[in-house]
A and B are shown apart, each in its own frame.
Chain A
Amino acid sequence: MNFWSVIYDLCQGFGVTLRLFGLTLLISIPLGLIFAFFSMSKFKPLSWLMKMVIWVIRGTHLLLQCVIVTFIPSVLLKIPNKDFAAMIGLNSISTLQFVFVLIAFSLNYACYFAVIFEGGIKNIPKGQYEAGQVLGLTKRQIFFHVVLMQVIRKIVAPISNEVITLVKDTALARALSVTEIILVAYEKVNKYAVLSPLLYAGVFYLAFSGLLTILFHFLEKKIGYYEVT
């Protein structure tokens, strides 16, 4: 076993892990905000539907959701995944698998974020909205200039927990043959009959979540410049 070639392949795998991680956050955070607004909507059917979806998604396993998403084209549209990939212009089935996983991850995390956002938004005292109203601000202005910063401040800690959980959850993608780092590590374990590649993979995770912890700590300090009312 060549140590450096194993590390090189693990790096490739970690690249996929990071891509899934980054894209999931990029989609699920704004989507979570939208979900939160839907869930708080005054239009009751929308609010109920959203709460139901959030309940189902949070109450079932991410792995299951990934699998369900992969079956959607073949079951609902009666198109095999290979043809479906070609149809939407993806050049390989493995890219399609990645997209499926990304969709499942984004929906799943959006639901978790939605709950955090909703909690944060509801936590803002009514007086803050009223102060904005009395000053003639629009609802938008009140949200973006008065409420949002206070919400962000209250939710950094729970959000950072979710983000760190996401780092580890990306390993689930291997069930759909997405070649993220753990899948690569297993291949090496099987090929060379040694456990060390898995340990190296662990070091990658550790380093990355360590980095995130430091980043979030910095962020919390940065926006914690004032005391919460």
Chain B
Amino acid sequence: MENKNYLQVSGLCKKFGNLEVLKGIDFSLGKGEILSIIGASGSGKTTLLRCLNFLEIADDGEIAIDGETIFDGSLYRAHKIKDTELREKRLHFGLVFQNFNLFPQYNVLQNVMLAPKLLKKGSTQELEEKAKSLINRVGLIDKLDNYPCQLSGGQQQRVSIARALALDPDILCFDEPTSALDPELTVEVLRVIKDLKQTGCTMVIVTHEMEFARNVSDRVIYMRDGLIEVEGTPEEVFDHSDNEHLHKFLNSGSI
């Protein structure tokens, strides 16, 4: 039986100055499952992903993966996390950015290989083979030598997915991976994410693609004002919720 509580987040809080952006986020996710996070802009979705990836340090709450606590707010309120510790924690999660953030001076292969090479994850030959197989998986094996500026947005986003996978994160996070893309390029990125699910990759996806969220997710979270307002399976959230805010959100033309 798969571990139903592979990722466990509880009571996660984050303030920027006086602005409470996360007001106590609780959820859990099984291994190999996809969680989609939806919600209006400003509701704290990005901040939640950034806290998971330790780009922001949450003020309070807990994050555990496979039973191992990797963040405990009550411990870290007093002590700053050391840099080395922070880097180890970060490796539990991967993050795919909205605007890709590929390294412009490196070609596709170099982008994917850079971090594993610097972190000495294996011999150059092993790493190159692995990188190529990941690039192949996102369908860009014929673009190995191309620089990011020579690729379409959709291709760049697929490279950044391969780059994140190269470090074998336990959980891969996506922050609106397709919102910087034209609709016709969105499809290819979503297909890659769907394929990843087949390989058992656990994912947390912030998205505005409601059809996609409904079709591929195991769980869906609707966030509003720093809180989880509705949580459940796609059917529960999209079809059977009577939450007023969610209804308004789903029916607003802005999505």
Contact = CB atoms under 8 A, between A and B. Distances in A.
Nearest to B166: A135
Contact of B149 (A131, A137, A227): A227
A137 B118 contact: yes
Interface string A44-69: 00000000000000000000000000
Interface stretch (A82-90, A105-113, A114-122, A145-153): A145-153
Contacts of B90: 133-134, 136
Interface stretch (B96-104, B192-200, B220-228): B96-104
A229 interface: yes
Interface string B91-121: 1011101010111110000000011001100
B104 A145 contact: no
A143 to B, nearest CB: 12
A134 B53 contact: yes
B55 interface: yes
Nearest to B99: A127
A4 to B, nearest CB: 50
B83 interface: yes
B16 to A, nearest CB: 15
Interface of B: 53-55, 83, 87-88, 90-91, 93-95, 97, 99, 101-105, 114-115, 118-119, 147-149, 160, 163-164, 167
B104 A131 contact: no
Given A127-B101, A145-B114, A138 B83 contact: yes
Contacts of B164: 134-135
A74 interface: no
A128 B119 contact: no
Interface of A: 125, 127-128, 130-139, 141, 145-146, 149-150, 153, 225-229
Contact of B95 (A134, A138, A145, A146): A134
Contacts of B148: 226, 229
Nearest to B92: A136
A229 B105 CA distance: 10
Contacts of A134: 53, 55, 90, 93-95, 164
A226 B146 CA distance: 10
Given A127-B97, A128-B103, A149-B105, A133 B55 contact: yes
A132 B163 CA distance: 11
Contacts of A137: 87, 115, 118-119
Contacts of A128: 101, 103
Give the most central of B55, B95, B103, B147: most A CB within 10 Å.
B103
A131 B101 contact: yes
B117 to A, nearest CB: 9
B22 to A, nearest CB: 18
Given A138-B87, A226-B148, 9 more contacts: A125-B101, A127-B101, A132-B115, A134-B94, A134-B164, A136-B90, A139-B83, A226-B147, A226-B149
A136 B87 CA distance: 5
Contact of A130 (B55, B114, B149): B55
B121 to A, nearest CB: 10
B97 A130 contact: yes
A153 B104 CA distance: 11
Contacts of B91: 136
